[in-house]
Every structure is written in structure tokens, then in C-alpha cells.
Amino acid sequence: MNQRYLLLSTLLVAGTCIAQSSRETRYALQHDDGTVQQAPPAAGTMRDGGDIIFSEDFSNGFAGNNGFGAWTTSGPNGDIWKRTTTGPRGAYTVVTQIIASTSVANGFALFASDSANCDWSSGTPVWPAAPVEWEGALESPVLDLSATPSVMLQWEQRLRWCCQAISPHAVEVSTDGGLTWPTTLEAAAGIATNNDPGTQTRSVMLTAAITADPSQVKFRFKHNPTGAAYHWQIDDVQLVELYSDDMKVEDGYLSQTGDGDEYGRIPADQFEATMLMGSNVTNNGAQPQTNVTVNIDVVGATPFNTSATLPSVDPGVTAPAEVDYTLPLLSNGIYEATFTVSADAPDQVTTNNTFQRNFEVTPNRYSVDGIGIHPAANQTLATLGTSSFTGATDGLILLNYYEVHNPLTVYGIEVALGNTTVAGGYVIASLRDTAAVFATPPAMTTVIAETDPVDITAANVTSGLAQVCFTSPVDLAPNGYFGSISLFSNAGASHIRVVDDLTVPQPGVTSAIYIPNDDVYSNGNAMAVRLITNPSGTACAVGINDREELNGVNIFPSITDGIVNVRTQKPGSYTIEVLDLLGQTVLTTRSNGSAVIDLGNQPEGMYMVRVSTEGVSTVQRVTLN
């Protein structure tokens, strides 16, 4: 039974806003290795409007380098705001996560919430048992904008937070010199919890917010007391006078399920009849715009086109223009969708009128990620794995949700490995019913199908891929499932990291994790854990995993009350491991040949006995009654 939405939430789709239950939006603190890969922001291309009327690069610290005055801090923890030239540090933050802003070399503003929570007495940051959710703001000087009341605030930032669905980052606006702050604007829209998208340029419209009195304007960057980690970096702040007519495409979405999921690769027979297609568009200009239309042109083997129209969009307003489009029968290939906005008035800034989103129709893979398919300028990648979470060096499970609309045969799981993966660990692939994953507590030993353990070799690390195959093809009926990979690093000696695609924001449990002896969390965005739906050209083509099999080993009896015999045809140095259904090692020993092991003190159930030597291994299953 597909309980993804029944147990966790009912997804309420309004535009691209997806409301989710508290269970679905649980997150775990996540170590970051600073390996975000993104196209660097182009210097000098930040401005979307007309004249720049305020500019700050923090080269003079908070004393200001803007021609108006000094910055101030406020709030109970305002002193956490600092001007710095080095990246953030902390228990869950690394210094390489420094902002890549236009003027980073001469300093930037940093709210280091991770660092502020840590105990540094030993020289190494230690996270506290009860972290503080900080509240502090960085306030601009008072600005007289009477002559230019139609303005946009733009800035460059890099941030990450945990552990709730709503970002603690906001822009607040005052028109009485900072006595009151009646207007709050989002600073991190579209960024998922725990995800570091790298350096971004952000903008908000101030026109409506300063109407009351544009002569006493202040704005501030406020960290609200709903997050204890990790950091917020800000640089190159500008106020830009608006053009009269300027519509901007913020994004584009192509949801094959209509629930917000956007699969990067999908077999043709797994599409629904319709696709939710659209864009969030913003009126960046000073005048209302009428007949705002988003044209969606999709090129590929089976090209198609549609559009969505909004009657009007007022200045500063962002609105979704979308349509449930009835799809033609799509042939295999990569599809490139271009979203273009227009209105009755000619647009004065045409460089922000388009957005691109790609996907692939293929019989070979079903994947949430679109790595290698996205437009290169949009692709943003990170990694997560056995070094990301406390208590997860062995047995961390990464899960991706897949909707199956027509019968589907799965041959294995393909995983894209981060380049900091160390050879020597092993993985186990599984297919799971959503009901088992969302049970209380999660029933992670309940699987539809599971592979034997497969070693991560130096060749896997070099290629960046591991293909883990089921002993026989698995036929899935229409329903919802999780494809998963369990990671084992030999107690941290051989950490495994998997690529996480941050390019397209996904709903809370499209990707998820399970921490051993803990719970399921919504960490991860679009992890590269892919269903192999065509074995041709993969390790699954011959029905085995991409490793050499150890022959000449006999393990018996297959049903036992405790004693298990291991017989080898050739003498040698063998490692014998017994794993439970979560992949956890419950017994390990070494032998020069045959051996007898006793499982009498283990709980009843199925176990995997793994015998290895000189880089080859075999796995056989036994049942303990």
C-alpha cells in the first residue's frame, strides 16, 4: 500500500507551494564536506534594474562603504553578526563553505550560528546537547528613498540551516527609521533544509513595503530564533531603481506526478497522462503588468508546446503560472524545456525572461536526479553519506521515492559516488514498500527485494558509479516504492558519500535517510540512487554484481538453531562476517579454512554470512530458528 501521503501528509499543491506534515519535514543535523559543485556566479552581472542607489561590499566592515552610514546589529544575539574574510566553521560546517561573492576578498558579513553554539575549549568544535536557536539582525543605515521609491534590494549570499522546513532567514523593512518592522520578506525561498546551494544572488522588491514613508527606510537581514545551525553569509548588497516594465521568470517546473516530484530520468511508460508545467514569475518593474503569459516550449524527440496566462501581476508580486498539460506519447531522448514570460507592455529587461529545465525519457534508468542532463549553468551538486550524520557510519540508508504507474521490472540500483568516497566499504541495495518505511518505528528489515553486500572498490571510486544487482529481476506492480542503498564504512575507515542533486527542489520525502536505531528523516534532495530498468550495458546484464565471486565455499545448514558450518575448498586467510537484515555486522571472525560459528545468542531471523579473501567474496543466507 502506498502510504507516502496517507501516513506523512496530504500534499496541498497551490502553484509550487507544497504543504507537508511535521513528520515529513523532520531533519537530522548533517555534516557538510564543502563539496558543492555549481557554476560560479558571473561577476558584474548582478544588477537586474536601472541605477544603483545604494551599494555595500563590507570592505570597511560594519562602519560602511555605502555613502549613507554604518550598519548596526540588533536582537538578543545580534553580536553573532561579524565582518570576516574567512569561511564559517563549526561542528557541522567547514571553512571551504565560504561565499564566492563578487568582492569576497575584501570581506563579507557572517552569522555563524553553528560556531556560536559549539564548545571550542578543546580546540575542536563540539555540538551541545541543547543548542540555542539564535536571533539576531544586521541593520542598514537609514535611507531617504523619496526620490526613488520604486526599488529592489539585491544581495549575494550563501546559507544552510537545520532542522525545520521553514528557513530562519528573512529580510525585514522599516519606514520609521527602525522603530517598527512591519514587513517581512523571504531570503531563502526555494532552498531545502540542510542543502547548501552555493553562492546565490537574491532579490526582493521594496516598493510596496516603503510606501508609508520612503524617507526613513531601513532594511535588515534577520536570523529568526527557529534555527541553531549552520551559517548565513551576505555580501555585495545593492538597492537598484526599478525599470517601469520588467517581468522575471524565477524558475520552471515539470512535475510528472503533479505533486512536485520532478524525475530527471523516467521510462516512457511511467508518465501520468498529464504533467504539471509552469513557472513562478515576478513583476520586477514599477508598473502593474497585464496578460502575463508563460510560454513553455519543449524540444526533443517528441516536441510540444503550451502556455499559461495570468490576468495581471502587481509590482513586487510573485505568482505561479501553470497548466496541467496532456502529454503526447514521448519517444526516448533528452527534452529541453524553455519557459519564457511576456506581458502586454514591452519588457525593458529581456535577460531575465527565460528559464530552462531538462529531463530524459529512457528505458534504462528511473532516477530522481538529473545529473548530466540539467543545463550546465543550473546544475548544483553536493554529497552526503556515512560521514554526514552522528551514529551513521555503518547502516545509513538512503531512500528515493518512485511512483510506478505501469508494471516495472527493476534489475538493480545504480549509485553515483562522491569523489571523497574511500574504497573498502560495502553497500546493500533494496526495494521497499512505503508503508514499511513510514511505520512507527520504521520497519527497515522489511524489504520487497534485497541484494547481497557489494564491496566499494577503487574502480568504483574512479568511475564514480556502483551498480548493485538483485539476484533475479524484481517485478513491481503500480504503486509507490522506495529504492534504497545501505552504506557501511567499516566504522568510518572507508567512508562512502553519494552525490545529491540540488538543482531542482524536491518535496520532503522524495529523498530521505534512515539513521540506524533512530528514525527516517527528510535529509537529501535528489540523491543519485537510481533504479536500473534495463540491464544492458550494466553489471546486471549477466545477473551478478560488478565484483568477482568467491567460489568453493559451502555454508550449511541453511536453517539452523545456532550452529553454522563454513567449508572452503582451498586453504587461505578468510574473513567471515554475519550480517543482519539491516546489514549490520553481528559477528566477525577469521579462519585459515573451514570454521564453525555459533549464532545461538542472536535473535531469530534471516542472516547473511559473508566470506571474503583477497578482494573477492561470497554471501549466502541462513535462517536462525
Going from N- to C-terminal start, the domains of the chain cover 51-241, 247-364, 379-542, 553-624
The amino acid that residue 578 corresponds to is V
The CA radius of gyration of the chain, in Å to the nearest whole number, is: 27
Fold: same for 51-241 and 379-542: yes
H helices within 368-457, ranges in order?
434-437
pLDDT given for residue 397 in this prediction: 98
Question: To the nearest 5 percent, what fractions of the chain are helix, strand and coil?
Answer: 5, 45, 50
pTM > 0.85: yes or no: no
350-372 b/e with 16+ CB inside 10 Å = b?
eebbbbebbbbbbebbbbbbbbe
Who's near 567: CB < 8 A, 6+ residues apart? Answer: 553, 554, 555, 556, 594
CATH 2.60.40.3080, domain 553-624, yes or no: yes
Which CATH code, of 3.40.640.10, 1.10.150.110, 2.60.120.200, 3.30.565.10, is assigned to 51-241?
A: 2.60.120.200
- Which is it for strands 616-624 and 559-560: parallel, antiparallel or unpaired? parallel
Q: Is residue 393 a contact partner of residue 491, using CB atoms and an 8 Å limit?
A: yes
Query: 3-state class of 407 per DSSP?
Result: coil
Identify any residues that bridge with 295 across adjacent strands, giving them in sequence order.
307, 340
CATH architecture assigned to 379-542: Sandwich (2.60)
pLDDT given for residue 18 in this prediction: 27
pLDDT given for residue 46 in this prediction: 44
Task: Collect the ranges in the chain with pLDDT lower than 50.
Answer: 1-23, 40-47, 543-546
Closest by CA to 585, choosing from 572, 563, 602, is: 602
pLDDT given for residue 2 in this prediction: 37
Q: Which CATH superfamily is domain 247-364 in?
A: Immunoglobulins (2.60.40.10)
